[in-house]
Structures are given as C-alpha cells and as structure tokens.
Structure 1
Amino acid sequence: MKKLLLILSLFYNSSFATDLEKKFKDFILDNPEIILESLENYERTKLKILEQESKEKIDDLKNLLYEKTGLYSGDPLSPHTIIEFLDYNCSYCKLLHKNIIKLIKEKNVKVIYKNFPILSADSIDFAKIAIILSKQNNEIFNKFHNFLLSSKKMPSMVEVEIFLSDQNIDLKKIKEMFEEKFVINSLELHKRIALELKLQGTPALIINNKLFFGYLDYNEIIKELNI
C-alpha cells in the first residue's frame, strides 16, 4: 500500500510539474515582450554596476590618467579635458578623430592620449613613435598623430618614413629608441590602466570621470562635457 501511494505521489508531482512547465512556456510564447523587458532591465542594471565600478576605478587612477606628458592635443590649460584610449590602426579611432579636431578648434578642449595598441604589430610601432615624438616636441607629435588618424588607410612604414623625413626626423634614429625604458614604461602603464578599466577595444573615452566604450559623435561629447 505504501509503495502504491509513493508511485501515485511521484506520478502526480511529475504530471503537475509537466503541466506547469507547459503553461509557463505557453505564457512566454504568448507574451514575448516579457523576456525582452527582462533582458533590457538586466542590461540596465549591469550597465549601472559597470558605470559605478568604472567611476571608482577612474578616481583611483586619477593621477596616472591625468599625468603630464607630451601625449596631448589642444590647450594644456583648458578646463575641459577628454582622455582617449586609441590604436592608430583602429577605424573608429579615425572616425572619432574628426570630432576631436572639431572640439579642439571650436570648444578649446584638451585631449590626453593613452596608447592601447591591440590590433597589429604596426599599431605598437606607431605608438612607440608617437611616445618618442611627444617627448621631443608636442607640435611634431600632433602632426604625426594627425597624419596617422587622418589617413583613409593605415600608412605603410615607408610612408611614415617619408612623412618624418619632411619634418627633418630620421626614422632609423627613432627606431633605435624603441626599446628605451621611457617608451616601454609608457606602453606598459597605458596598457595596465586600460586593463584595470576593463577596456576590450578602442576607442574609449573618459569625460568628466565617466567612461565611454566606443565611438561618440560630436554632439554626444559636447553634452557630456556640459559646454
């Protein structure tokens, strides 16, 4: 008798569970917007958590993020500062560069650059050249920086050599400095900052201590700068 009751109990529970599962599936199929709403709520919650974490991390890294180097464009005394993580081989960095130039000209914005060369070996070499030039002369650095990011396709090293030659700079001498301590330290520092901020690509921007992943258009940047 006890065995019979146990079998009936298991059958009843299994039947009830199956019926409940079917009703649940039917309800979801009839109301798919619930799943979409749930996913949207999840993404919003996740984004808020990431924003809070990034704000705390940016505050911790403030001195390193705003360190004084020659890797910048615009007025060094500007009250409006943007930090940009970039790879010179990144197509979206090139697209963003048009907005950056406009911001510097029209809104007196200062942009601090952090190298995050992740796309190719050339990306690393171009970052090293940028670091070396920035230490020597900010004006020459900006010419080189604009040359790379204004090109529709990534310039070859031969084209870079010609460009630098026009600026009376010998690429061979620059390459001899590639492994100098200040170059390697700069690359490693920027990489460490990028990884601590959990960056997975470029561009990335920090505006008013808020982190943005990917491309932003001109008006979006203006809005975040509050100018």
Structure 2
Amino acid sequence: MPRMKRIRRLAALTLAALTLAGNALASDSSGFDPSNKEQLGQFVHDYLVQHPEVLLDAQDALQAKQQQAAQKKVAKVIADNRQALYYAPGDLVLGDPDGSVTLVEFYDYNCPYCRAAVSDMKTIVANEKGLRYVLKEFPILGDDSMAASRASMAFEMLAPNKFKTFHDRLMAIKGSADAERAEKIAADLGVDPKQLEAKMKDPKIGARIRQTYALADKLNLTGTPAYVVGDMAVSGVIGADALRKAIGNVRACGSTTCS
C-alpha cells in the first residue's frame, strides 16, 4: 500500500477509534477531565491498549462506509450514462432485445478470460429469460486488439446481419486476433477485405472507442472482461454463479444486493 494511503487510513482509523473511546469517556464517572489534552491522550492510549479490538471494529466500519459510498457513485454513473451503456449504436445485443434486465460486458478480442467465458455467457443468455446482453468492445491489450476491434466495428457497419457470426468466429480464433485474421473472416462471409480496411478508418469508429474508454474510466473498469448490471460495475472474472445471482437480485429488488 502506498505510504500516503497508509497514513490516510491510519488517520481515519485513529479518528474512528477516538470516537469509540469518547463513547467510553461519556460513561466514565471517575472525574475524568476531557479538557486536559495530556490526560485525554493517555486515556485513549490506555483504552486502545486494553481494547485493541476497537481498531478492528473501526476498520470494518470504515471499509463498509467506503464501499457504500463507492456503490452509490457507481450507481449514479450508470444512471447518468444509461443511453451510452445500454443503447450505443453498433453494440452486439444478444438474448431478449426488450429484456427487463440488461447485462453489459466490456471485452477485448485478445482477452483469454473473455474467450474462456463465452460458453458460460451463452448458457446464461439461454437460461435467463428476459435478459438483454450487450457486448461492448473495449480494446485495451495492444495494437492487435485495437485493429481487431476496428475491423469488427467496420464489419458491423458493412454487414450488420452477419455481425454475430463474424464476432463469434473472431472471438474463437486461436492465437492473436488482428486485422489480417479479421479480414480473412470478413472475406469468408462475403465482405471485401479492401472495403473493410477502408471502413476501419471511419471517424465514427474512433468516436465509439473513445466513448467506451470514457465510460470505463467513469466506472473505474480497468480490465477485461468487465461487467455492468443493475447498480454494479466490476472488472475481472467473477463467475457465472455470481452473475446469475446479480441478475436475479436486480429482478427481485432492482439492485444487485437485496437486503
């Protein structure tokens, strides 16, 4: 943990501990004078030595408070960016297009965890009725990923009816997904590689990628896969069971965590 972060955490824990110690002072009937700073400092020291569990209680309370604040911030960002998250033109939408619950996945064609999760996601989409599954391209793993993403977006603009097939084949490729392999898949599906290459330079594609980066930054998404559902945004593999639970909770109470 960085030094300044440790200092801030220690200060917060100390303040919380002082508050708890102050509660003990309030019930003290020994004639203690709280205006005496030296006496107060000694009392707090002695109290914490005798009751070290207070620091653990303070740490738990601090972490819970920070998590609640972070969750509220994420929920607001999701609400404020609903259109860009859920309804951006060109995003691949699977499942029920009019579903009552939307799950968004940020992915990179060269992300091994995204590839490994494909079968689980297909099962979730097949079994979760009323789920709208949005796939959002988030190329963060280098030049090949950027080229593959541009090719994918270009293909969607040229042949939207074949986009899912293109996406599935590019995601299933062995080795690195890049422009050359994307163009080969496009050719197999009847799209001229030269036309695809030219379309990859369309300014709209760059704008879409920048918008996705901006959304990820606001949501503090730093890796792939990343998921947004209900009021939750999380980076990394969380597993099919956790996703199903979050989806079920959103249906039940409107939040990924039901009380």
TM-score range, shorter chain: 0.7 to 0.9
For 1:16-95, what aligned pairs fall within 5 Å after superposition? 41-74=61-94, 75-95=96-116
For CA contacts below 8 A with separation 6 or more, give which structure has more relative contact order: 1
Which residue in 2 is equivalent to 1:4?
none
For 1:96-111, what aligned pairs fall within 5 Å after superposition? 96-108=117-129, 109-111=131-133
The answer on whether the counterparts of 2:154 and 2:205 sit within 8 Å (CA) in structure 1 is yes
CA shift, 1:176, in A, is 1.1
Change (3 A) 1:115 1:24: farther
For 1:120-131, what aligned pairs fall within 5 Å after superposition? 120-131=142-153
Change (3 A) 1:47 1:163: same
RMSD: 3.1
Gaps of 5+ in 1: 1-16
Which residue in 1 is equivalent to 2:183?
161
CA shift, 1:216, in A, is 2.4
Q: Equivalents in 2 of 1:124, 1:39: separation in Å?
A: 42
- Figure out how many residues of one structure are paired with residues of the other and give that number: 210
**Which 10-residue stretch deviates more, 117-126 or 43-52?**
43-52
Q: Equivalents in 2 of 1:172, 1:161: separation in Å?
A: 8
Gaps of 5+ in 2: 1-40, 252-259
The answer on whether the counterparts of 2:152 and 2:182 sit within 8 Å (CA) in structure 1 is no
CA shift, 1:158, in A, is 4.0
Give the residue type in structure 1 aligned to 2:132: K
Q: Equivalents in 2 of 1:79, 1:170: separation in Å?
A: 38
Which residue in 2 is equivalent to 1:181?
203
CA shift, 1:42, in A, is 4.2
- Quick check: 1:144 aligned with 2:166? yes
CA shift, 1:153, in A, is 3.5
Cα offsets for 1:60-118 (capped at 9, x unmatched): 11122122523223232222321111122212222232222112222243221222211
- Quick check: 1:116 aligned with 2:124? no
Give the residue type in structure 1 aligned to 2:113: Y
Which residue in 2 is equivalent to 1:212?
234
Give the residue type in structure 1 aligned to 2:225: P
**Which 10-residue stretch deviates more, 173-182 or 154-163?**
154-163
CA shift, 1:35, in A, is 6.6
Change (3 A) 1:155 1:64: closer
Give the residue type in structure 1 aligned to 2:122: I
Q: Equivalents in 2 of 1:64, 1:141: separation in Å?
A: 20
Which residue in 2 is equivalent to 1:201?
223
The answer on whether the counterparts of 1:82 and 1:112 sit within 8 Å (CA) in structure 2 is yes
